[in-house]
Amino acid sequence: MKLVLTIAGSDSSGGAGVQADLRAISANGGFGACVIAAVTAQSTRGVVLARALPVALVAAQLDAVFGDMPVAAVKSGMLGGAGVVRAVAARLRRYAPAYYVLDPVLLSTSGHRLLDEGAVAALRKELFPLATLLTPNAHEAEALTGLRVRSLRDAEEAGRRLLDDGPRAVLVKGGHLREGRASDVLVTRRGARVVPGEWIDTPHTHGTGCTYASAIATHLARGRRLRDAVTLAKAYVTEAIRGGFPVGHGAGPTDHFFYLRRGDLAAWVRRLRLRGTRGE
């Protein structure tokens, strides 16, 4: 079993952040370890308060995991501040995991700002060049490039711009697009391809981005090439969204173990079996 490390914030409602990451890693056949970079007070209605943990504590968590466990892939989400970003970058350079999926969490779904401008600048300078895959949604792609991202063509252009900051590949997620809604665009230096998606009309999508990025990281860790990891993770997150359910009075979570409740475990186990080759 491959070990996947998530570096992210804690979500007290359980729908996103480290909590969603660990479930997605397990559901896709990996073993999840975690480094908590920030803590949020949030519910299904939104984020009330968010704070980065002390840099020394984040660094100690990273050293503890990397110094003891064979980390096959890393996924990062909410990092909280520039100091944490730099600490994460220093450890990724030191320990050099084979795969790193960077979900640039800038805003919560409810609009709460999770990274200030200094932290965003540090993210671009320190972590983008280390990323195997960068996974912004359309709003994050707009914030990072200054482009208007409304269509699949816009998403491709934004992805190409973001490649200039150093990641090996960019996946612009299309849940907020007006044209090609729910389809994503994977951009590498070899070209771009659309990852088709199905729009599911549900409010229960809390933690979708965390879930998607963690599933991709898990399949990279298990030996799938990048586009296959993205395709399988896309199929997984689509079904998790389809199984989303109401908890509380706001946006409920996706169902990370939908296949257990639907009774089609055997079919998904077959799909999760290791196939494919390493690389793009």
Please say if the pLDDT value at position 11 is more than 60: yes
CA of residue 111 relative to chain centroid, distance: 18
pLDDT at 176 over 60: yes
Give me the mean pLDDT over the 177-193 stretch: 92
Q: For all residues of the chain together, what is the average pLDDT?
A: 92
The answer to whether residue 209 is catalytic is yes
Rounded to an integer, the average pLDDT of 113-132 is: 92
Is pLDDT of 112 > 90?
no
pLDDT score recorded for residue 132:
98
**Active-site hit among 9, 77, 175, 209:** 209
Give 111's pLDDT tier (boundaries 50, 70, 90).
low
At residue 277 the predicted structure's pLDDT band, cuts being 50, 70 and 90, is very low
What is the DSSP secondary structure assignment for residue 124, as one 8-state letter? I
Instruction: Report the alpha-carbon distance of residue 59 to residue 137 in Å, rounded.
Output: 28
The answer to whether residues 186 and 158 touch, using CB atoms and an 8 Å cutoff, is no
pLDDT at 114: 76
Q: Residues 276, 225: contact at Cβ < 8 Å?
A: yes
Q: Of the listed 188, 205, 211, 218, which one is catalytic?
A: 205
Would you state the pLDDT for residue 110? 59
pLDDT at 68 over 60: yes
Catalytic residue (choose from 15, 197, 207, 244): 207
Of 159, 175, 210, 218, which is the active-site residue?
A: 210
Catalytic residue, chosen from 173, 211, 244, 254, is 173
Q: What's the pLDDT at 117?
A: 87
* Annotated catalytic residue within 132, 145, 208, 254: 208
Find the mean pLDDT for residues 86-113. Answer: 89
Residues whose CB is less than 8 angstroms from the CB of residue 84 and which lie 6 or more positions away in sequence, other chains included: 37, 38, 52, 53, 55, 58, 119
pLDDT in tens, 96-105: 999 999 999 8
279 has pLDDT over 50: no
d(CA 123, CA 87): 11
Q: Calculate mean pLDDT across residues 206-230.
A: 96
Are 75 and 214 in contact by the 8 Å Cβ rule? The answer is yes
Active site residue 6: no
The residue-averaged pLDDT of 216-229 equals 96
Q: Could you give the percent of the chain with pLDDT greater than 70? A: 95
174 is catalytic: no
Domain range list for the chain = 3-272
pLDDT surpassing 90 at residue 150: yes
**CATH number, domain 3-272:** 3.40.1190.20
* Cα 13-18-61 angle, rounded to 5 deg: 130
* pLDDT confidence of residue 181: 82
Residue 263 DSSP one-character state: T
State yes or no: pLDDT of 276 exceeds 50: no
254 is an active site residue: no
Local confidence band at 81 (pLDDT 50, 70, 90 cut-offs): very high
